Structure 1
Amino acid sequence: MSENQGLSLRERTRNAIRDQIAQVAIVMFDEQGFDETTVDQIAVAVGISSRSFFRYFGAKEDVILGDPMIYGEPVRASLAENIGTMPIWDAMRAAFGPVVARTEEDPDWTLRATRVMISTPTLRARNTEKHLAWLKVLEPLVADALKGSDNTRIFQARAITLAALTCLDVTSAEWVRRDGAVGNGQLLDEAFAFLKPVALTA
């Protein structure tokens, strides 16, 4: 996979083991429930010790939602590239391309993970924290592309960015509700089309 390019053999091996643990854990979370599944159960299923689990994940929650900027940085980079060449709202949609690509890469696994996240209050809270982290890096890019006073640009940029992140959340919930019958990218396109503000199409 491209994410392993440039990594040492040791790092690639670590990533492969981490992915293996995550694959098993996600299925268990989805079938048994997140809170009902213990680290000990995951470790037994994978064939490692519980201590070894924590070499790869700081907490059980990290299997679903780890470093918020793993995808936040590609989203930021995409927005930075596109925001000067297309309408702001369209640039926001394009920025989520890396997120959609991840769902298409392994839709079954991602659907399971999303279903677990939506159905678990602690994970939903962590997902909100993730989006707040994204807000901090996306909002300044949007503000720089707007006109008006500093206060006006910051206010509008926050409204636009949070609306876009809400589209992402609503799409994830709808994707799960339809059990993946309609593509995540198609649903995200529809959500953005519903809210496309006339003022940002020029």
Structure 2
Amino acid sequence: MTDDAPPSLRERTRRAVHQEIAGSAMRLFLEQGFEATTVDQIAAATGISRRSFFRYFATKEDVVLGELVGRGHAIASELAARPAEEPPWTALRAALVRFRDTRTPDTESELRLGEMLYATPTLRARHLEKQLAWQDLLVPVLADRLRATAVEGTGANGVGGNGAGGTDAGGADPELAAAAIVAGALACLDIAGAAWVRRGGTVPLDKLYDDAVATIRST
């Protein structure tokens, strides 16, 4: 079997059930609120048992946020593929934007989901937990990029430069610099997302993110 082989009937059936459960759950969440919706209600709306629900989702929060870790892997792959000469903040932003551009935009649904996310403490906590998993995926990739550019920018005296071949990480340890940049970028993304929801999607998320990053990098 090759990597391009179509999924088996069992896998296609599993995906279909997974999507049906998620669809039923999201309708209930948006109609009556996340906290007011029970697993039993989701199971009943889908025509499955409570036990079957937990075969597909570990928690109710994972119905909303379960794909975040998979998105983190996709962003890490995009980051690794960025041109080597790109500064770390630029490469990370490009990876985040490119992944977002691959998704079908649905502003109304994203706004309603965002309102629910930021208004529900259990969802917020789970969301932050998933973002920590993103850090674990992105930091090693960015650290490798910083090491490579530091070597390319090293002069005859062995000191890394900040010119075309160097980095904008200030010569810090690559792991420390990568962790700081990724944490800062994800914090800015979260802040931008909250602002985007508050403003009803009237200001582009990219602009809000750029403004947030510019603020922390200039102070």
Q: Supply the AA of the counterpart residue of 1:33.
A: G
- Is the aligned partner of 1:37 residue 2:37? yes
Deviation at 1:46, TM superposition (A): 2.1
Whole-angstrom CA distance in 1 between matches of 2:171 and 2:90:
23
Identity, % of aligned pairs? Answer: 45
Letter in 2 for 1:139: V
What's the counterpart of residue 190 of structure 2? 169
Shift, 1:73, TM fit: 0.5
**TM-score (norm. length: structure 1):** 0.80
Measure how far apart 1:54 and its partner are: 1.8
User: What letter is aligned with 1:13?
Assistant: T
Instruction: Kindly indicate whether residue 178 of structure 2 is the aligned counterpart of residue 157 of structure 1.
Output: yes
Alignment partner of 1:191 is 2:212: no
Displacement of 1:117 after TM fit? 2.0
Gaps spanning 5+ residues in structure 1: where?
none
Aligned to 1:143: 143
Distance in 2, Cα, partners of 1:88 & 1:40: 46
Give SS of 1:34's match.
Answer: coil
Deviations 1:53-111 (A, max 9, x none): 22221221110122642111001000111151422212111111365246535444444
Shift of 1:32: 1.6
Structure 2 residue identity aligned to 1:15 = R
Write the letter of the residue equivalent to 1:153: P
Larger RCO, structure (CA 8 Å, separation 6 or more): 1
Verify the 8 A CA contact 2:143 2:178 in the aligned structure 1. yes
SS at match of 1:114: helix
Q: Which moved more, 1:147-156 or 1:54-63?
A: 147-156
- CA RMSD, aligned part only? 2.8
Change (3 A) 1:23 1:115: farther
Cα 1:122–1:87, aligned 2, differ >3 Å: closer, same or farther? same
CA distance in 2, matches of 1:21, 1:114: 20
The TM-score with structure 2 as length reference comes to: 0.74
The residue type paired with residue 7 of structure 1 is P
Q: Does 1:53 align with 2:71?
A: no
- C-alpha separation in 1, matches of 2:186 and 2:119: 19
- Bigger Rg over Cα: 2
Give deviations 1:19-65, integer Å, cap 9, x for gaps: 12112211221232211110111122222222222222122111012
- Count of residue pairs brought into register by the alignment: 192
Q: Which moved further from structure 2: 13-22 or 101-110? A: 101-110
Q: Tell me, which stretches of 5 or more residues in structure 2 are unaligned?
A: 151-159, 161-169
Provide the C-alpha distance between the structure 1 equivalents of 2:98 and 2:21, rounded to a whole number of angstroms.
23
| Conserved 8 A contact 2:188-2:212 | no
Instruction: Measure the CA separation in 2 of the matches of 1:134 and 1:150.
Output: 24
3-state secondary structure, aligned to 1:19: helix
Structure with the largest fraction of helix: 1
